[in-house]
Structure 1
């Protein structure tokens, strides 16, 4: 099934309902369908085999997504923060694309020889088009085209060159049908999304909110004040944030009243326990959802729901309370195995590699193919374990492991301890090359403003909770850590900066 079937169902079921943008100036489901038809015709007329989207999130994004789907070509949302060399290399993979770019990004697409529209030009041109139906010869087969690529998302490249993840129509529609009930939202419901378009969560939110009948708004530039003001002004019922955003909202001095907010989803990076506990207490009427997933899995594969959050917060049982740090339970349609280094499935409570399979799991890379085993399981490269009740705990990337001597050490374990200190806002623990031990443990810490703490005191704090071999040998204080827009820590940048600081001190 092609993604356009979701839009066509929405147009038939609630065509007059605003589904994109503000209440006053937004786009209805029926109008989005018309724009997608005109967009598909424009893509075909240009002879494009893909649509590259190099702009901030906004109404042009869903229009581009469904236009591309109706034309039978993939949408390629590109990270507008990439450097010139990396961006040029990526665009070289799409020499016949039609481009949509913000004005200051136009040069990059023109260098690649692409025809370019600004987001405003794209939507305005389609709105003025007389085309409302595709010719039968040009219409995409919405029932039989499920195996075609719908979206190509390039991985962030935090540890290596970006790879293009192919998400086929079948993967994305399977995710929607497995997680959302059609037309389940109230007509007044609205979702606020605060992630960039090249993140899988942006794609997933377009299609799931549309299918549910929920209006979607985008906050292009996040600040706590802007976010809170938008929630109140637009009477937002559901919102999506990354942990760093929620932390800034919780820590801000702004008026935090959000009477319309019924649901708040978060994900993309580990959530500090202190932040989520404060948020739960701050908004007792809001249902919190922790969603865990990857680009390769078409977004969410595990969910910690609202009832799980409240039960964990209120429980005196340590094992239940610990679930507030989990990502919840696996969603229907996904199978999970935790495996050791010899590929054996381990028992509950034992940490291993998180491996999954299901129709929504793409695990496919452009030019490489599907990276699954003979049974169809995808190794996420995340470490984790499940408890006796099936709650999944994620412990960081396999590649993040610090090897000190012969001991494998998980940075997340040390970071969790440091984050418990009341003076600490953020932390990154990494392994730095060492002649004697192979790697030594070092930490970069962001402190709360006006709350100093001595590095030796912080080391003692860690030593009291763990053992000396897991205590950072050096702790430095920075104003902020290198994170992506979705909150993921770029550990190699931390290692590079720590190494440069040490070398500079030795001169």
Structure 2
């Protein structure tokens, strides 16, 4: 990434403002010694702004950047002395959004160990598989997951919340030195189709990844940021990295509650909110406080924006919505700004500075604008492979996302869905997401999901699952007629099923396998 662009972006976002010389020197020294890992980012923030609030929980309790660093170092020393954790080991972290998760992940990276961020929505059987496949050396977990861990090997050390507090208070003295290897962050894929895979995240090697994001999403130094997206998810963890780099004050709630979130955004004076799309829908379903939160940025990622949601949200909260399309494997591919979403509410936007994006056919040749093809991405933060040793297909330095999409004449990217979600019905290719977005615009519909199910005559057919707004009713044939009016006949769902709610994982993605159980 070219230096003038980096300097200009950092200046615009307030990161190159003058400071006390001794603190600036200490800040740069921390990055030089510890690099751009989460531990390095926390050290630079504590060096520059030691007394600034780093984390505020749902009860209003604060930790400054210096306090957060001190606690993380104590956890690291206790893990090393008491459990023998060292460089190359893997520390499992099964926690909701609170400072204990952050302290544990930073502690692991301080030791050169890999932190495995475990999805809080995994079943007991999935947790046992993850513990075995990731060869966990120790597991740090919240108390409310204790019963789910009964199937884990007895020899696997487990640290609950009280034990984690003991690691802080009873830490042995000593000084930590930069480890012989960088500790990696291992993020688990969503697991919507089975056991999640571990994806090794690279450590940034400079300002490039930060600049790519904050050039398009206008976050500033010392903002107050609420991270509602789960920290174990790629998007929530990215928000944590960005917040540390900006020396922001981070507001965390263990569980997402829309009313409590809106209250905290106002009382804590938050400038920005990181969320997943389904959270925006929930925020619109509760009374908006008066005065309403004065947010400058609402950044979402993790799944597609349902049809009409972008406009409804911006009509309520202003043109502050930014939608990042990416994945655990490619980090980011494109970002949609408020003007992009006003123009096309389902767009994934455009690739940010330093990112390459291509739409290719099955032979690896580029497809014309408007034609659907495979989405491939290249940037500084492509993952390093799965912990199993498997890798994703690449082409000319670009990684296959596994998604299908198209770019229109204005250069906006649209994601049509996963390649394995496309169905063939009666010889016609159908993308369920297109039908899903259309049905979601019906005023009676709270949320919708469309999937392919087996069909004896056509091979596959579409089934639509609808959760309605309270007190609303809808006739299945009216839904089919509505789709028939706008789309081709093969896009009309043969089945229309009404449900109380759609099954989702902890990051808000619909669990299609749960819906297919309706068909045995």
Same fold (TM over 0.5): yes
Q: Could you say which residue in structure 2 is the equivalent of 1:318?
A: none
| Deviation of 1:237 (Å) | 1.4
Note closer, same or farther for the CA distance 1:429–1:8 as it changes in structure 2 (3 Å cut).
same
Q: Could you say which residue in structure 2 is the equivalent of 1:89?
A: 129
- In the alignment, the residues of structure 1 paired with residue 411 and residue 278 of structure 2 have an alpha-carbon distance, to the nearest angstrom, of 27
Q: Could you say which residue in structure 2 is the equivalent of 1:409?
A: 430
Is the aligned partner of 1:114 residue 2:156?
yes
- In the alignment, the residues of structure 2 paired with residue 179 and residue 131 of structure 1 have an alpha-carbon distance, to the nearest angstrom, of 39
Give matches, 1:254-269, under 5 Å.
Answer: 254-255=288-289, 257-269=291-303
Is the aligned partner of 1:140 residue 2:179?
yes
Is the aligned partner of 1:351 residue 2:372?
yes
Say if 1:338 and 1:353, in contact at 8 Å, map to a contact too: yes
CA RMSD of aligned residues (A): 2.4
Q: Could you say which residue in structure 2 is the equivalent of 1:316?
A: none
Is the aligned partner of 1:12 residue 2:47?
yes
Query: 158-167 vs 264-273, which deviates more?
Result: 264-273
Q: Could you say which residue in structure 1 is the equivalent of 2:91?
A: 51
Note closer, same or farther for the CA distance 1:404–1:104 as it changes in structure 2 (3 Å cut).
same
- In the alignment, the residues of structure 1 paired with residue 253 and residue 103 of structure 2 have an alpha-carbon distance, to the nearest angstrom, of 17
Note closer, same or farther for the CA distance 1:301–1:124 as it changes in structure 2 (3 Å cut).
farther
TM-score (norm 2): 0.85
Query: 119-128 vs 468-477, which deviates more?
Result: 119-128
| Deviation of 1:199 (Å) | 0.8
Q: Could you say which residue in structure 2 is the equivalent of 1:167?
A: 201
* Deviations 1:422-478 (CA, angstroms, capped at 9, x unpaired): 211211112111111111222111112222121111111111111222111121111
| Deviation of 1:91 (Å) | 0.6
Q: Could you say which residue in structure 2 is the equivalent of 1:474?
A: 495
Say if 1:297 and 1:363, in contact at 8 Å, map to a contact too: no
Q: Secondary structure at the match of 1:273?
A: coil
Is the aligned partner of 1:288 residue 2:321?
yes
* Deviations 1:25-79 (CA, angstroms, capped at 9, x unpaired): 3222222222232232223222231211112120011111211111001111212
Query: 420-429 vs 69-78, which deviates more?
Result: 420-429
| Deviation of 1:327 (Å) | 1.5
Is the aligned partner of 1:66 residue 2:106?
yes
Say if 1:348 and 1:386, in contact at 8 Å, map to a contact too: yes
Note closer, same or farther for the CA distance 1:442–1:259 as it changes in structure 2 (3 Å cut).
closer
Is the aligned partner of 1:329 residue 2:350?
yes
* Deviations 1:351-388 (CA, angstroms, capped at 9, x unpaired): 11110122201151012243242522211111111223
Note closer, same or farther for the CA distance 1:184–1:467 as it changes in structure 2 (3 Å cut).
closer
Note closer, same or farther for the CA distance 1:166–1:249 as it changes in structure 2 (3 Å cut).
same
Query: 2-11 vs 477-486, which deviates more?
Result: 2-11
Note closer, same or farther for the CA distance 1:172–1:99 as it changes in structure 2 (3 Å cut).
farther
Structure 1: where are the runs of 5+ without partners? 313-320, 501-507
Is the aligned partner of 1:192 residue 2:229?
no
* Deviations 1:149-172 (CA, angstroms, capped at 9, x unpaired): 511112121113211111122489
* Deviations 1:196-227 (CA, angstroms, capped at 9, x unpaired): 23211121111110111111122222222111
Aligned equivalent of 1:238, options 267, 272, 287: 272
Q: Secondary structure at the match of 1:232?
A: helix
Q: Secondary structure at the match of 1:364?
A: coil
- In the alignment, the residues of structure 2 paired with residue 172 and residue 105 of structure 1 have an alpha-carbon distance, to the nearest angstrom, of 37
Say if 2:324 and 2:336, in contact at 8 Å, map to a contact too: yes
| Deviation of 1:264 (Å) | 1.0
Give matches, 1:368-383, under 5 Å.
Answer: 368-373=389-394, 375-383=396-404
Say if 1:178 and 1:332, in contact at 8 Å, map to a contact too: yes
Q: How many residues align?
A: 476
Say if 1:2 and 1:169, in contact at 8 Å, map to a contact too: yes
* Deviations 1:319-376 (CA, angstroms, capped at 9, x unpaired): xx22x22111112222111111222111222111110122201151012243242522
Q: Secondary structure at the match of 1:418?
A: helix
Q: Could you say which residue in structure 2 is the equivalent of 1:452?
A: 473
* Deviations 1:118-144 (CA, angstroms, capped at 9, x unpaired): 23542453255363622x5xx325xxx
Aligned equivalent of 1:80, options 96, 102, 120: 120
- In the alignment, the residues of structure 2 paired with residue 249 and residue 274 of structure 1 have an alpha-carbon distance, to the nearest angstrom, of 15
Is the aligned partner of 1:424 residue 2:424?
no
Q: Could you say which residue in structure 1 is the equivalent of 2:31?
A: none
- In the alignment, the residues of structure 1 paired with residue 465 and residue 84 of structure 2 have an alpha-carbon distance, to the nearest angstrom, of 50
* Deviations 1:468-498 (CA, angstroms, capped at 9, x unpaired): 221111211111111222221222221222x
Aligned equivalent of 2:335, options 279, 289, 303: 303
Say if 1:171 and 1:362, in contact at 8 Å, map to a contact too: no
Q: Secondary structure at the match of 1:399?
A: coil
Give matches, 1:97-108, under 5 Å.
Answer: 97-106=137-146, 108=149
Is the aligned partner of 1:26 residue 2:66?
no
Q: Secondary structure at the match of 1:494?
A: helix
Say if 1:191 and 1:209, in contact at 8 Å, map to a contact too: yes
- In the alignment, the residues of structure 2 paired with residue 464 and residue 73 of structure 1 have an alpha-carbon distance, to the nearest angstrom, of 57
Note closer, same or farther for the CA distance 1:376–1:370 as it changes in structure 2 (3 Å cut).
farther
Q: Secondary structure at the match of 2:420?
A: helix
Give matches, 1:481-500, under 5 Å.
Answer: 481-497=502-518, 499-500=519-520
| Deviation of 1:272 (Å) | 2.4
- In the alignment, the residues of structure 2 paired with residue 191 and residue 364 of structure 1 have an alpha-carbon distance, to the nearest angstrom, of 31
- In the alignment, the residues of structure 1 paired with residue 205 and residue 409 of structure 2 have an alpha-carbon distance, to the nearest angstrom, of 30
